[in-house]
Amino acid sequence: MDLELFLGRFHPLIVHLPIGFILLAGILEGLRLFRSKQFHMLEVAINIALIATFLGAVGSIILGFLLASGGGYDQETLNWHQWMGIGVAVTSLLAWILKRSRFGSSKKPASVLIFITVIGVSITGHFGGNLTHGSDYLLVHAPDFIKKISSKAASNASQDVRIPSSPDSIVLFAHLVKPVLERKCYACHNPSKSNGGLLLTTMEGIQKGGDTGPSIVGGKSHESLLFVRSTLPQNNPKFMPPKGTPLTYSELKVIQWWIDSGASFEATVKNMDATKEIKDLLFRDFAIDLSPKSYVEQVKIDPIGEEVLIDLRQSGWNVRPVSSTIHLLEVSGGRKPLNDAMITALTAAKSHITRLDLSQMGLMNHQFDLSNMPHLTQLKLNENAITGEALRYLRNARHLEVLNLFGTQVGDEGLEHLSSIQSLKRLYFMNTPISENGIKSLREKLPGLSAIR
Q: Are 1 and 69 in contact (CB under 8 A)?
A: yes
Strand 426-428 and strand 402-404: pairing? parallel
Question: Is-contact 90 124, C-beta < 8 A?
Answer: no
Question: For residue 313, which amino acid is it?
Answer: R
Q: What is the predicted pLDDT for the residue at 103?
A: 47
426-428: strand order across its sheet: 318-321, 329-332, 353-357, 378-380, 402-404, 426-428, 450-452
Residues of the chain with pLDDT under 50: 1, 103-105, 147, 150-159
Contact criterion met (CB below 8 Å) for 121 and 22: yes
Cα–Cα nearest to 383, from 440, 313, 333: 333
Q: Where are the alpha helices (DSSP H) in 141-243?
A: 144-149, 151-157, 178-184, 203-208, 225-228
Q: What is the pTM of this model?
A: 0.49
SS3 of residue 188 by DSSP: coil
Distance CA(319)–CA(342), nearest Å, equals 12
Dist CA 85 CA 79 (whole Å): 10
Q: Are 77 and 130 in contact (CB under 8 A)?
A: yes
Give residue 423's identity as a one-letter amino acid code. S
- Residue 20: Cβ within 10 Å count: 14
Q: What angle do CA 33, 38, 44 make, to 5 degrees?
A: 75
Measured distance CA(429)–CA(443) in Å, rounded = 14
SS3 sequence of 216-255: CCCCCHHHCHHHHHHHCCCCCCCCCCCCCCCCCHHHHHHH
Strand partners, 73: 193
Half-sphere exposure (CA, 13 Å, Cβ side) for 181? Answer: 24
**Which pLDDT does position 158 carry in this prediction?**
37
Given the DSSP bridges, would you call strands 318-321 and 329-332 parallel, antiparallel or unpaired? antiparallel
Residue 6 has a pLDDT of 73
* pLDDT for res 437: 94
The pLDDT value recorded for residue 104 is 42
Q: What's the pLDDT score for residue 289?
A: 86
Q: Give CA–CA dist 139/150, Å, rounded.
A: 9
Q: What is the pLDDT of residues 171-218, one digit of tens each?
A: 999 999 999 998 888 878 888 777 888 889 899 999 998 888 889 999
8 A C-beta contact, residue 388 and residue 417: yes
pLDDT at 61: 86
Q: Which amino acid is at 258?
A: W
**Alpha-carbon gap, residue 440 to 444, rounded angstroms:** 6
Confirm if 186 and 134 have CB atoms less than 8 A apart: yes
Listed in sequence order, the DSSP H helices in 101-224 are 108-133, 144-149, 151-157, 178-184, 203-208
